[in-house]
Amino acid sequence: MLHRGRKGEPKGFGEDHFADLLDAAHQQLRAPIVLVWDGLPAHRSAKMCALIAARPWLHVYRLPGYAPELNPVENLWSSLKRSMANLAPGGIDDLLQVAKNRLKRMQYRPTLAYGFLATSGLAPP
């Protein structure tokens, strides 16, 4: 999601966005989903709890309130930011393209994802 600072434009994902993303992932994977979530308020809202309860194929494990050392995604973002440390993009669209490209590269390196899991203390599948 790209936020351009327009009035009324969402700055991030809300409950409906998360639900749509999870539904799309479930349809594409055709398998149950195990989700590890941090303490973001949108992850804990009454609406999100109802959306989770309505999806028997979704298993959610919640991390403690503030525990970045347990969250493997924190390591992913850290790695992504390091790879873009001295980047001087021409604009927001250039930055978005580079970020998508770097994330795509990470997608095809499963050992990297397993490393992020290992540093969090979680076991890879």
Q: Tens digits of per-residue pLDDT, 5-52?
A: 778 776 777 788 888 989 999 999 999 998 888 777 778 888 889 999
Whether residue 103 is predicted with pLDDT greater than 80 in this model: the reply is yes
Whether residue 122 is predicted with pLDDT greater than 80 in this model: the reply is no
Model confidence over 105-115: pLDDT tens digits?
A: 888 888 888 88
Q: Exposed, middle or buried by CB within 10 Å (0-12, 13-18, 19+), for 2?
A: exposed
Residue 58: φ, ψ to 5°: -110, 125
pLDDT of residue 123: 65
